[in-house]
């Protein structure tokens, strides 16, 4: 259901707190719903209805007055609470919680086999604890179905577990292939940079800005999953899978990957279901943590804390905080926010992906933060094999100097350590071939190859 379906959004917060319905409105609209009513309550959770029973009666009246077809609760509802609220709503009005809505959005955006598997895995993990509840409620009420979801099959729990196992095996196989591709990229001289952060922070816009001068298509022979574009729309979860493009930062060959955005209050089982997508972040050489600088500073702080908790748990690469959308913030306010967040983001880069302001400074920062390259010099005999090696060095590193003296060519370059080692091996092969003609090759440090 969605595509303009009228929906009422509701949220409960603990006593003394104020309810912010802005994110659930955005999530509902991202799923295609039309928000026609809102309701909130500040009180301790009710075990039976989540809200107070009187507030559920208000919710029911609001659904009737607005002709809502769906009630979306910005909390995690237990199966019994879902059942009890649904029992009070008019017939035909569905009740879904925050995580059901997120899964619906994920399902709409899953355009690759990997994304579809991850969504299916999350849905199954969400359904598993509810399978037992359906059985219990069906037996208690002596009804063949639960909330119109069909008859309970006592083997359903086993089926769910078997499907989870199958999907995890398939995702593991995909992850192995992706890890092989990552290593192939590194062996080809690429540095891997990942964009992370909350959804709608402007990651895709920033990616397009960094990559605007270098289009990379799938038919260029680099890697099968390189995409020529990354969507950049003002809506949540535009990016669900990963999009990788070659970025222009200066001397380094950088592949920049845009991943699914974080969203607040995600349960562990949902994050775990998208673990293989997050591997693009965890296994990068550098992570750009993008934050929307136009948001209130407390919201920025909360999101930074959550991102740090998620990233530092498994990530070993350096993390650079990028305060994006500075075109929406006046300089004085930006300075105050930067100072307030200094403990979490001690040296951020402030940019506007939309206008391009300070993007060149971000490119410089990327180059400075990436793992150090090693410098090397090779003295090679003049031959076709040597020219092939020089060409290879241009493709896989940064050639700083190239000199010819008639019989030899001297090439000075910088590259990833693995590329330097491979270049030495190739130089040794050139030497072996040239030895038959009385030629040799030399590496720096005074050694002869």
333 vs 269, residue with greater confidence: 333
pLDDT for 342 equals 94
pLDDT for 434 equals 64
pLDDT for 8 equals 97
Residue 46 contacts residue 17 (beta carbons within 8 Å): no
Task: Compute the average pLDDT of residues 285-291.
Answer: 92
Residues 168 and 282 in one domain: no
183 occurs within a structural domain: no
pLDDT for 135 equals 59
Least confident of 230-239, 349-358, 411-420: 230-239
35 pLDDT tier (thresholds 50, 70, 90): very high
pLDDT for 227 equals 38
276 pLDDT tier (thresholds 50, 70, 90): low
Residues 290 and 341 in one domain: yes
Residue 93 burial (10 A CB sphere; 0-12, 13-18, 19+) = buried
pLDDT surpasses 60 at 446: no
Residue 200 contacts residue 236 (beta carbons within 8 Å): yes
Contacts of 438 (CB under 8 A, 6+ apart): none
pLDDT surpasses 60 at 147: no
Residues 97 and 122 in one domain: no
318 pLDDT tier (thresholds 50, 70, 90): confident
pLDDT for 87 equals 94
What's the total number of domains in the chain? 4
Chain centre distance of CA 171: 16
Question: What is the tens place of the pLDDT at every residue in 151-191?
Answer: 455 677 788 889 999 999 998 888 888 888 877 777 777 88
pLDDT surpasses 80 at 310: no
CATH of the domain at 93: 3.40.50.11060
181 occurs within a structural domain: no
- In 3-state terms the chain splits into helix, strand, coil percentages (rounded to 5) of 45, 20, 35
pLDDT for 235 equals 43
Residues 220 and 320 in one domain: yes
pLDDT surpasses 50 at 239: no
Whole-angstrom CA distances from 423 to 80, 332, 376, 427, 443 are 64, 51, 9, 6, 10
178 occurs within a structural domain: no
31's tokens: 């799923």
Least confident of 116-120, 141-145, 368-372: 141-145
Question: What's the mean per-residue pLDDT of the chain?
Answer: 81
pLDDT for 114 equals 81
Determine the structural domain holding residue 79 and report its residue range: 6-107
pLDDT for 80 equals 85
Residue 253 contacts residue 190 (beta carbons within 8 Å): yes
177 occurs within a structural domain: no
Residues 129 and 58 in one domain: no
pLDDT surpasses 50 at 448: no
Residues 249 and 389 in one domain: no
Any idea what DSSP says for residue 272?
H
Share of the chain above pLDDT 90, in %: 37
180 occurs within a structural domain: no
pLDDT for 94 equals 94
258 occurs within a structural domain: yes
pLDDT for 277 equals 64
Backbone angles phi, psi at 69, to 5 degrees: -100, -15
447 occurs within a structural domain: no
Cα–Cα–Cα angle for 214, 216, 218, nearest 5°?
175
Instruction: Write down the residue that tokens 């008639």 correspond to.
Output: 406
190 vs 237, residue with greater confidence: 190
Share of the chain above pLDDT 70, in %: 79
CATH of the domain at 399: 3.30.70.600
b (16+ CB within 10 A) / e for 307-345: bbebbeeebebebbbbbbbbeebeeeebeebbeebeebb
CATH of the domain at 291: 3.40.50.300
Evaluated on CA atoms 300, 301, 302, 306, the torsion sign reads: positive
Strands 408-415 and 374-381: antiparallel
Boundary-marking domain end, from 54, 83, 107: 107
Concatenating the DSSP letter of every residue in 298-335 gives: HHHHHHHHHHHHHHHTT--S-EEEEEE-GGGS-HHHHH
Question: What is the tens place of the pLDDT at every residue in 49-102?
Answer: 999 999 999 999 999 999 999 999 999 898 889 989 999 999 999 999 998 898
Task: Compute the average pLDDT of residues 234-248.
Answer: 63
Residue 198 contacts residue 262 (beta carbons within 8 Å): yes
């Amino acid at each position: 259901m969605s595509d303009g379906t009228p929906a009422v959004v509701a949220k409960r917060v603990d006593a003394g707190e104020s309810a912010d319905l802005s994110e659930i409105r955005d999530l509902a609209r991202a799923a295609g719903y039309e928000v026609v009513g809102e309701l909130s309550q500040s009180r301790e959770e009710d075990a039976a209805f989540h809200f107070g029973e009187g507030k559920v009666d208000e919710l029911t009246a609001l659904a009737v007055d607005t002709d809502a077809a769906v009630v979306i609760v910005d909390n995690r509802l237990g199966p019994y609470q879902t059942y009890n609220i649904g029992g009070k709503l008019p017939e035909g009005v569905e009740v879904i919680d925050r995580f059901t809505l997120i899964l619906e959005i994920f399902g709409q955006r899953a355009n690759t086999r990997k994304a579809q598997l991850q969504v299916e895995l999350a849905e199954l993990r969400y359904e598993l604890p509810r399978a037992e509840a359906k059985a219990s409620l069906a037996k208690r009420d002596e009804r063949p179905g639960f909330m119109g979801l069909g008859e309970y099959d006592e083997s359903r729990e086993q089926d769910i577990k078997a499907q989870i196992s199958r999907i995890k095996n398939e995702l593991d196989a995909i992850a192995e292939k992706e890890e092989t591709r990552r290593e192939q990229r590194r062996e080809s001289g690429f540095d891997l940079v990942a964009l992370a952060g909350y959804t709608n922070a402007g990651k895709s816009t920033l990616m397009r800005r960094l990559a605007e001068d270098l289009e990379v298509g799938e038919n260029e022979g680099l890697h099968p999953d390189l995409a020529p574009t990354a969507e950049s729309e003002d809506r949540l979860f535009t990016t669900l899978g990963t999009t990788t493009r070659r970025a222009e930062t200066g001397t380094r060959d950088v592949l920049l990957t845009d991943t699914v955005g974080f969203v607040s209050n995600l349960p562990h089982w949902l994050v775990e279901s998208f673990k293989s997508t997050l591997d693009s972040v965890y296994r990068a050489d550098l992570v750009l943590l993008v934050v929307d600088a136009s948001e209130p500073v407390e919201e920025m702080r909360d999101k930074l804390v959550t991102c740090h908790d998620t990233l530092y748990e498994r990530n070993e690469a350096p993390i650079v905080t990028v305060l994006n959308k500075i075109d929406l913030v006046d300089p004085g306010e930006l300075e105050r926010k930067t100072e307030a967040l200094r403990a979490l983001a001690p040296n951020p880069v402030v940019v506007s992906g939309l206008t391009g302001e300070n993007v060149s400074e971000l490119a410089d920062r990327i180059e400075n933060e990436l793992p150090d390259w090693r410098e090397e010099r090779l003295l090679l005999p003049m031959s076709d094999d040597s020219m092939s090696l020089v060409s290879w060095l241009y493709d896989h590193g940064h050639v700083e100097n190239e000199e010819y003296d008639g019989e030899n060519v001297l090439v000075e370059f910088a590259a990833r350590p693995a590329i330097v080692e491979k270049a030495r091996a190739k130089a040794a092969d050139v030497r072996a071939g040239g030895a038959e003609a009385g030629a040799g090759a030399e590496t720096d440090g005074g050694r002869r190859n």
